[in-house]
Amino acid sequence: MKRFATLFDELDTSTATNAKVAALSRYLAEVDDADAAWAVYLLSGGKPRQLIKTAQLRAQAIAEAGLPEWLFEASYQAVGDLAETIALVLPAPAQDSGMHTRLSDWMEQRLLPLRGQPDEVVAEALRGWWRELDAGGRFLLVKLVGGGFRVGVSKLLVQRALAAHAGLDAKQVAARMMGFTDSKRTPTAAAYRALIAPASEAGARDPSLPYPFFLASPLGGQAGDDDLLDMELASNGLAQTMQDRLGPASDWCAEWKFDGIRGQIVKRAGQVWVWSRGEELMSERFPELQALAQRWPDGTVVDGEILVWHENAKAAPALPGSERPGGPAPFALLQQRIARKTLGPKVLADAPVSFMAYDLLEAHGEDQRARPQQQRRTQLEALAAALDPTPGPRLWLSPVLRADDWATLAAWRTQARTLGVEGLMLKHRDSAYGGGRQKRAGGSTSDGGALPLAWWKWKTDALSIDGVLIYAQAGHGRRASVYTDYTFAVWNRRPRDAAEAQAVVEAIAQRRPADPDGLQLVAFTKAYSGLSDAEFKSVDAVIRRHTLEKFGPVRSVRPTLVFELAFEGIARSTRHKSGVALRFPRMQRIRHDKPLHEANTLQDLEQLLGSGPA
């Protein structure tokens, strides 16, 4: 545990990629294979299920530290991180023997056997462990048992460190790591050795494993993304900018960007496996997809999107380029389906899952990823055509939109939201299927130059609404001392004038209950990202000046500020008082120019609901 705690500290305090790779390489060279396996699993995003509930962690920490609850909560609000708070308030240990126990022993002999144990057994074990760990060990322990372990390294960085340590190509390591962090699999020394084995010694590939997913990069004006078009768009115009940066539109395959779960279906050794992009094995959740692939030839791997599809959908227009009847359902319906533990007949009927195929990665046991995109598409079409006459579910292909100019593709993109999709995917006809989000992925332009990128996602512009800040909560980590997590409201109807809106504000300030038949501010969403540190600091000052009440970490705030909020989609929700739920809400800007009475209303949200599927 001590060596892993040191590694965690090195990774957490460094911002240099090479320094992080070097720290990981040193760790892998110093520890045994079992510890290395767990470290790679945890740092790559593997998360054992929460072993101890947060409430129990807090209760036991308060008891062990001998603090009143209010003082512990005040400390937590000042620190901003539960694990760090617990590590700081607990009394110094009499000894640190637990720091010398191996990471793998902690995980396999202590922590994992805790699952399902009675609360009193968990409490006794937890307090005993705290007494044999120093502050760094306690911090890590709470992160591991509370399900909140994460550190500032990516899976790609871990793969680079493994490759450097083993003298392998990073792409080869990436391929071997597929499925390594699946929650149903426990990392073992043998599995780690298979990751770093020399190519000549590597055993046969596990037939269930998918390939590393090739990810598209954002294109054009999406908040927080690197924008390929940047300021050229304003001066050149869309079509000319696209032409200048990506070349002729005819060099690209355009497809609809569906709002589902990216997945690979693997058919090998007579069995079918379904993997998500997050490397989660989901075969049991989607029996429809297992049935779909039963007729495929052995040695077939197809990349695509898992969707709920309504064959008789009449609300959305027909999807251009598609032969498939109906249309995609909102993502919220797929989420509800995933959350069900039991897939009864009603669930399967209400949310029928299907697959929209994008790419053929393996055919007859041979890797096809190095072949050009256009050739892989032709092979995928041939596979679908060969399966079509035989009984069973049809393999539907993502429709290809063919256009000779960027203006035509841009016009299709503007229709995306009403069609129930997120925008367009652009894939160069000569590109190979890469791994991860790469800046270059094979192929070349007609004049021999390197392609700027193989895949782009060209999403629709975000929706937006103006909301009023009414509640605030302090952030976590480095933002623990600043109020950064906000709740926003809209008017239940349009105010007659500024005076009527101001009367509501005064009633709120005086803690008078809202008039059920009158003008009200109705909470509708929360957001915590989108502003700069300087902007958060300025809003924090306003919150502190206009606080009305405190509810633990939350402050109610006199309505003073209006924010423009951006979001990707909107859906009806019975769980929210407003009746709607937003997808990926974020703060676009503070509307200092907009008075409170001009903020948006519930009716405006209703209109956005009518603009197309979320």
pLDDT in tens, 546-582: 999 988 789 999 999 999 999 988 888 888 889 999 9
Residue given tokens 């399900």 in the structure block:
147
Rounded (10°) angle between helices 54-65 and 119-130? 50
Interatomic CA distance for residues 523 and 488, integer angstroms: 6
> pLDDT class for 305, splitting at 50, 70, 90?
very high
Task: Give the pLDDT mean for 499-506.
Answer: 96
Angle made by CA atoms 496, 546, 579, in degrees to the nearest 5: 50
Interatomic CA distance for residues 380 and 303, integer angstroms: 10
pLDDT at 139: 93
- Please classify residue 548 by burial: count the beta carbons closer than 10 Å to its beta carbon, then call 0-12 exposed, 13-18 middle and 19+ buried: middle
Task: Give the pLDDT mean for 381-390.
Answer: 90
pLDDT at 43: 93
Per-residue pLDDT tens digits for 357-378: 999 999 999 999 999 999 999 9
| CA within 13 Å, CB half, 526 | 11
> pLDDT class for 453, splitting at 50, 70, 90?
low
pLDDT at 246: 84
141-175 as b/e: b if 16+ CB within 10 A? bbbbbbeebeeebebbbbbbbbbbbbebebebbbb
Would you say residue 230 has pLDDT above 60? no
> pLDDT class for 450, splitting at 50, 70, 90?
very low
C-beta pairs of 512-519 under 8 Å, 24+ apart in sequence? 519/491, 519/492, 519/493, 519/495
CA dist 596 to 8, 241, 495, Å?
46, 39, 10
> pLDDT class for 443, splitting at 50, 70, 90?
very low
Interatomic CA distance for residues 38 and 4, integer angstroms: 10
590-604 as b/e: b if 16+ CB within 10 A? bbeebebbebbbbee
> pLDDT class for 437, splitting at 50, 70, 90?
low
- DSSP code, position 416: T
Q: Are strands 217-218 and 455-459 parallel, antiparallel or unpaired?
A: parallel
Residues 6+ apart with CB under 8 A from 201: none
pLDDT at 203: 62
Give the residue range(s) of CATH 1.10.3260.10 domains in the chain. Answer: 2-146
Give the residue range(s) of CATH 2.40.50.140 domains in the chain. Answer: 463-609
> pLDDT class for 442, splitting at 50, 70, 90?
very low
* Percent of all residues in the chain with a pLDDT value above 90, rounded to a whole number: 57
Per-residue pLDDT tens digits for 245-280: 788 899 999 999 999 999 999 999 999 999 998 888
Q: Are 286 and 304 in contact (CB under 8 A)?
A: no
Mean predicted lDDT score pLDDT of the chain? 87
Would you say residue 232 has pLDDT above 50? no
Beta bridge partner(s), residue 276: 263
Would you say residue 316 has pLDDT above 70? no
Would you say residue 234 has pLDDT above 80? no
Q: Are 221 and 566 in contact (CB under 8 A)?
A: no
Pick the closest to residue 59 from 39, 74, 73 (CA basis).
Answer: 73
Q: Which fold has domain 463-609?
A: OB fold (Dihydrolipoamide Acetyltransferase, E2P) (2.40.50)
> pLDDT class for 451, splitting at 50, 70, 90?
very low
> pLDDT class for 611, splitting at 50, 70, 90?
low
Q: Are 367 and 209 in contact (CB under 8 A)?
A: no
CB neighbourhood size of 80 (10 A): 18
Interatomic CA distance for residues 518 and 462, integer angstroms: 32
Would you say residue 315 has pLDDT above 60? no
Would you say residue 205 has pLDDT above 80? no
Pick the closest to residue 111 from 182, 139, 103, 119 (CA basis).
Answer: 103
Interatomic CA distance for residues 305 and 286, integer angstroms: 13
Per-residue pLDDT tens digits for 132-185: 999 999 999 999 998 888 888 888 899 999 999 999 888 788 888 888 888 778
User: Using DSSP, how many helices (H) and how many strands (E) does the chain show?
Assistant: 22, 21
End-to-end CA distance of the chain: 46
CB neighbourhood size of 300 (10 A): 20
Q: Which fold has domain 2-146?
A: DNA ligase i, domain 1 (1.10.3260)
CA dist 291 to 281, 392, 527, Å?
16, 8, 41
Would you say residue 529 has pLDDT above 90? yes
Would you say residue 447 has pLDDT above 50? no
> pLDDT class for 231, splitting at 50, 70, 90?
very low
* Residue-level length of the chain: 614
Pick the closest to residue 278 from 347, 362, 205, 177 (CA basis).
Answer: 177
Helix or strand (DSSP H, E) at 353: strand 353-363
pLDDT at 204: 66
Task: Give the pLDDT mean for 43-66.
Answer: 90
Give the residue range(s) of CATH 3.30.470.30 domains in the chain. Answer: 217-459
- The CATH code that applies to domain 217-459 is 3.30.470.30
412 or 221, which is more confident = 412
pLDDT at 318: 73
Interatomic CA distance for residues 275 and 211, integer angstroms: 10
pLDDT at 202: 59
